[in-house]
Every structure is written in C-alpha cells, then in structure tokens.
Structure 1
Amino acid sequence: MTEDRLAEAKRIVEAYLERSMAKDAEGARRYMAPDCEIVFTGGRRMSGPDGPPAFNAKRYASVQKRPLRTDAVWNKEAGAVHVWATGHLHGAWPDGEAFDGNRYVDFFAVRDGLIVRTEVWNDSAEILLARAGLSEAPL
C-alpha cells in the first residue's frame, strides 16, 4: 500500500465529511459506493447520505465538526483503506443551549476510491442523558 493511496482515502473521507456537514447529500453521495453501509451511534442503520443530516436535525438545533486528525491504514483482509476521523462536535442542543467539546470518532472503509462503510460514535447520547439527570456522565 502506497502512501499516495492512504492520502487519497483520507482526502475522500475529508471531502465527504465536508459535504455531509454542509447538508449536501448529492455532493456527499459522489464519495460513496451505491451500497455504502452507514451505522450511527446506538447501531442506527441508514441508507444514503441524506440519513445522517436528517438524524442530526432531530438531535441538535445545529451541529458542526471541529476535526482534530485523520488517520488511514491499509486493511489487507478487508481489501480497503480504513480511515478514522476524530475531533469535537460543537453547536446547539434542541433547546438552543450551546455545546462544544463533544468527542467524535468516525470510521470509514474506502475501496476503489469510494466509501463502502462508515460508522459514527460520539458523546451526544451520554451528554443528553446527563442533562436529563439520568446519567453520571460528566458534562
């Protein structure tokens, strides 16, 4: 696996995330395989790039990513470059209260220049439970 292929997979993921956060489903779709699997926190399965923004619209009044780093490795068994994008979410909860520093990790499998799988994890569920008095999670 060449460094060029790893860098290209990172570029694909970063471009997809940019389009996705801009709520540009058609722009994001250009970076995805037609049968791309999308799995959000809690095991929520979505089809197509319009699913994540629709889900986020229910959870946040607004949300954006503040990327920290993107890492890529070749996974021979999967025949794909595995990419992890990490950072923090910032925005506002549905009640308008601002938040920042909500950690996220996004996983991507990139094969033949397209994203074939993505998984999303972040602190939002724990933070929402804590805000409701239902969790010991730190705010």
Structure 2
Amino acid sequence: MPVIRVTLIEGYDEAVRDRLLEGYSAVTRTVLEAIPDGITIAIEEVKQSNYRRGNQRKNPKAPPPAPEQIVRDFLGAMERRDLAAAKTMLAADFAMTFPGGASFAKLEELIDWARPRYQRIGKAYERFDTVPGMESAVVYCFGTLEGVWPDGSAFSGIRFIDRFTVRGGLLVDQKVWNDLDAVRR
C-alpha cells in the first residue's frame, strides 16, 4: 500500500490541492494497480516565510484552470459563437483537424467550412477524460451531437469524440471524430 507525501508552498487553494491529490491517486492506481483505499496521499505545506529559492523568497504561482475546464470553456464559447472568448484560450500555433482531413488554423475558417453542413450544432457530453503528461495534458470528450441540417430538419444522437492538447493553460490542438457525414448521407 503506497504512502505518498507531497510538499507544497502554502497558498494553493483547496480546489488545486484536490486536483493534485486526484492526479497522484490516478497515477498511482495506473502504475501500481493499487486499490483506491490502499493509497494514502498527504500534502504537507511549507510556510512562505520559510521558503527560499536562489536566496529569494518565492510565492507559488497560480496554476491555470484544470485542462478539462479549459476545454469545456472553449467548447461553450464556440457553441455560443463567441469567437473572441474562444480565441483567448488558444496557443499561437493552434491547429484543428476535422473528419475528412479538414484542417484549420483560425476559428473563422472552421465556421466558414461548417456553414453549408448545418444551421446549428450542439454537444451533449457523456464524459471527459484527462491524460496528464510532462509537457501537456490531453483531454478527450465524448458525447453526441444535436442540431439542425441546412434544410431545417433536426438531428440528434450522432457520436463524437474530440481530442485536445492543453499546454500552459492554452489549447494547442483539437482533433475531431464524428459520424455527422455518415448520418447525413
């Protein structure tokens, strides 16, 4: 039964500490196949006044939002067509790839490409899975699409998976798989 001790500079809020504890638990379960009740993780805090690096006092940097939250916020902004808000979540080299190999670097290109495909589209989410990495996190979201075809008829229940890479609190890429074209035919 693993016991993991983590030391943080004081000042991180409870939500961040919870994310850290959940992450350590998930990694430990994956690497050691430990049962949840067999994993003990303790966070110890060092007072800011007792911590120096490079002989200078340091304060903890506020972490970015959870990668899943960044993805949810982006998808929400896109569904509302709030491109200004969506763009604030993108890395400078952001790239998107959609079914059929359609690739875009700008959100306006995506909107133009989608215009003849449907009048409106929305997503119902079944789940989000986050895979942490050393340089970035990968977030998968799964669910179904619903909306209105160009002729005004409704559609729903069309499967999709989106894969996002999140680095430094920004979206680096989005890869999309869905059955929209198969259903439309």
Q: TM-score, normalised by structure 1?
A: 0.83
Structure 1 residues 68 and 7, CA gap change in structure 2 (3 angstroms): farther
Higher relative contact order (CA 8 A, sep 6+): 1
| Equivalent residues of 1:37, 1:46 under 8 A apart | yes
Tell me the equivalent position of 1:100: 156
| Equivalent residues of 1:39, 1:45 under 8 A apart | yes
| Equivalent residues of 1:21, 1:53 under 8 A apart | no
Residues in 1 aligned to 2:65 and 2:92: alpha-carbon distance in whole angstroms: 22
Query: Shift in Å at residue 47 of structure 1?
Result: 1.4
Amino acid at match of 1:47: A
Alignment pair present for 1:22 and 2:71: no
Gaps of 5+ in 1: 130-139
Kindly report structure 1 stretches of 4+ aligned residues shifted beyond 3 Å.
Answer: 1-7
Query: Shift in Å at residue 72 of structure 1?
Result: 0.2
SS of match in other structure, 1:66: strand
Tell me the equivalent position of 2:183: 127
Tell me the equivalent position of 2:141: 85
Tell me the equivalent position of 2:170: 114
Residues in 1 aligned to 2:156 and 2:64: alpha-carbon distance in whole angstroms: 30
Residues in 1 aligned to 2:107 and 2:70: alpha-carbon distance in whole angstroms: 14
Tell me the equivalent position of 1:34: 92
Amino acid at match of 1:91: G
- RMSD of equivalent CA atoms: 2.0
Query: Shift in Å at residue 37 of structure 1?
Result: 1.1
Aligned residue-pair number = 127
| Equivalent residues of 2:149, 2:155 under 8 A apart | yes
Identity in percent: 31
Q: TM-score, normalised by structure 2?
A: 0.63
Amino acid at match of 1:61: Q
Deviations 1:32-91 (A, max 9, x none): 101101111111111122233332222012111111111101134xx2100001111111
